Amino acid sequence: MSEPLVRNIRLFIAYDGTNYLGFQIQPKGPTIQGILQDILSQVLGHKVKIRSAGRTDAGVHALCQVAHFLTTSDKPLEVIFRALSGLLPRDISVWQIEEVDFKFHPQRDALKKTYQYNIYNYFVRNPLLRLYSYWVPEPLNISAMQACLPEIIGTKDFASFRKSGTDIKTTVRTIYSAELKWSDTFNHLLVFEITGQGFMRYMVRNLVGALLEVGRGKMSLEEFKEVLEAKDRRVAPPPAPPQGLILKHIEYKEIKIIDRYPPYQVQL
C-alpha cells in the first residue's frame, strides 16, 4: 500500500466580519474558521484543520486573509473552489486556491501585512458605510493625527498598544509605513493604512483609538509619544471599534506554487 499523497493547500479569503465572532474557531458562535473547516471537511471527506496568517477579531473584515490546510484528497483545485463558492455563505468568499510547497506556513512565511481602518468623519451618518467604518461626528484635527505617524514607524516596543490582559512573548514590532488621508471616493471618509511585519491583537485599533484622541484635541503629540514610550497598555486610550478595520493584504516570500485556481492571479 503506497503512502497517500498529502497536499498543502493555500486559500485566499475575503469576508464581511459583521456577523462573525472573528476568524478563530470558538464554541460561542459562528466564526470564519469554523465555517470554512465544516465546508472543507464535507467537500474533502476528511476532517480539515486550517491555519491562518493571523486571527481577526469579532466584527473585523478581510479582503485578503490567507490560510492553509493539508489534505489527502486528490480532488482537483477547481472542484474544491467551485464547491466552496457554492456552499459558503455570501459574506465569505474564497477567491483563490493554490497547491503550494509542503513547507509553506501562512504566518511564518508572511513578510508584510497591510490593514486599513476607515473613519467616517462627518456631522451626519452615511448608512451605506456604517458596516465598514467608524462614525466620528466631531471634527478631527487631521494634521495633528498625521504628525503622530512618524512616531510609530520602525522597530519599536508597542506594549502600550497591545490588547489589555494578553500575555505575549514580545511586544516589539516593525512598522514599515502608516498613512492617514481622505478617501478619493467617498466624501468624509478618512482612511488609515498601516503596513508592518506583524501586528499584535488589537494593535491597529488601539493605535487608531489613540490617534483619534489626538484628532479630538484631547491628547497632544507629546502625550502620544509618552503613551508609546510608557510601554504600558493602561496609559493608552481604548481601541477604535472593529467594523472600521479591514485586513487588506499579506505579502509572502516567494514559494513554489504547484497548481492554482483560477489559473490566473486573482485580484479583488
14 near a copy of itself (CB under 8 A): yes
In the range 31-50, which residues lie near a copy of itself by CB under 8 A? none
Distance of closest approach, residue 268 Cβ to a copy of itself, in angstroms: 5
Task: Provide the mask over 157-196, with x wherever binding to a copy of itself is found by CB under 8 A and - wherever it is not.
Answer: ---------------------------xx-xx--------
Q: Is 157 a catalytic residue?
A: no
At residue 30's C-alpha, the angle toward residues 248 and 43, to 5°, is: 85
Q: Which residue lies nearer to a copy of itself by CB, 59 or 237?
A: 59
CA dihedral 38, 43, 49, 53 (to 10 degrees): -90
Distance of closest approach, residue 188 Cβ to a copy of itself, in angstroms: 8
72 near a copy of itself (CB under 8 A): no
Residue from 79, 110, 131, 235 touching a copy of itself (CB under 8 A): that is 131
Q: Which residue lies nearer to a copy of itself by CB, 105 or 125?
A: 125
Point out the catalytic residue in the list 38, 57, 91, 184. 57
Distance of closest approach, residue 78 Cβ to a copy of itself, in angstroms: 12
Q: Which residue lies nearer to a copy of itself by CB, 90 or 253?
A: 90
The site for a copy of itself (CB under 8 A) is made up of 14-16, 61, 63, 85, 90-96, 122-128, 130-132, 184-185, 187-188, 246, 262, 266-268
Catalytic machinery residues: 57
Q: From the annotation, which residues make up the binding site for substrate? A: 115
